[in-house]
Amino acid sequence: MEFHEFLNLIARKRKTIYGIVALFIVLSAGIIAVQRFKYSSKSQLLVVQEYNSTVDAYNASKSTERLSSVLANVVTSNSFFSKVLAASPTINVSYFGTTPKDQMKQWDRTVTAKSINDAGIIAVTVYHPDRAEAEKIAGAINYVLMTQHSAYDGANDAVKIRLIDQPVSSSFPVQPNIPLILGLAIALGFVSSLIYVYLSPTHPVASPAKALTFEDVIHTNAPRLQAHQAPTDPHHHGVEVRGQLPEEAVANLSFEEVLYPEESSPYGHHARIHHDAPHEQGFNQPFPATDPEELIRQGSMRNVLS
């Protein structure tokens, strides 16, 4: 299929494309509706490690990077979860479930912590349906990291964790990500609709039949008539068809007569063309069952009259 043909097909089936895209949007809306809306609370902490003069800057940077990575991974552990609950007894424990397995699964969904490159910065994000509860959990995590980090790094006073960004909560829910989901739904719906339109079978629309006129035949066969030096005057040679002049015969000829001459014509298939010449030529073949527009496009005077 040519590209311009595909564009024309898209234009013809634009309602189908709109329908498929709308279906994907409805499905994405259903996915959004079944999810729980959550706020976020973000904060950042800086890992500071003391070194003596014998340690070069590169090794000091790599050591700080390693410590921040270790502490970031520790945040989602079971022991750290227990320390957070102990540091802030007002946290709603029932939100995390009753069994250790459920608690760790929900805690992993609630808290994310990652080390930012080699800067020694730990970025902590807490997701919760209650905005105030998200801030409370974020504050407890920061407190445990700053006061009890030695339980995980073993550095005691050589390493200090300082809070550089206080917990900042979002004004609106950030989960699920509605713009992202809707954007993906529209993109997937559009691509799927193009694939459907391309693979779906196309049926040409048949044009309604119309009666041939003498002007139609002359206009279509003008190059051929000129090539054979055919006369442009329909009265030339006194050609007579079924007792009529050519323009009358062609104008009055219906497609029933073209397709089924034996049934619709009182002359049957023995219609004869008389010339002024002394001989007479008869045509005993019926008109072929040809598509009307194909007859006009490829036909000639012989197609119509023979």
pLDDT surpassing 60 at residue 194:
yes
pTM for the predicted model, two decimal places: 0.59
164: tokens are 């550089």
Give mean pLDDT, residues 76-93: 93
* pLDDT digit string, tens, across residues 96-148: 998 999 999 999 999 999 998 777 899 999 999 999 999 999 999 999 999 99
* pLDDT digit string, tens, across residues 28-41: 999 999 989 999 99
% of the chain residues with pLDDT over 70: 63
* pLDDT digit string, tens, across residues 211-226: 666 677 667 666 665 6
Contact at 8 Å (CB) between 50 and 137? no
Amino acid at site 253: L
- What's the N-to-C CA distance of the chain in angstroms? 38
188 falls in which pLDDT band (50, 70, 90)?
very high
Average of per-residue pLDDT values in the chain = 76
To which residue do tokens 């006009």 refer? 296
pLDDT surpassing 80 at residue 179:
yes
Q: According to the model, what pLDDT value does residue 114 have?
A: 93
Give mean pLDDT, residues 182-191: 94
CA gap 63, 190 in Å, rounded = 50
% of the chain residues with pLDDT over 90: 42
CA gap 236, 239 in Å, rounded = 7
User: Would you tell me the crossing angle of helices 3-12 and 178-199 to the nearest 10 degrees?
Assistant: 110
String of DSSP letters for 125-149: EEEESSHHHHHHHHHHHHHHHHHHT
- Taken in order 190, 194, 199, 200, the sign of the CA dihedral is positive
Q: According to the model, what pLDDT value does residue 267 have?
A: 44
Give mean pLDDT, residues 252-276: 46
To which residue do tokens 């904060």 refer? 43
Radius of gyration of the chain (CA): 43
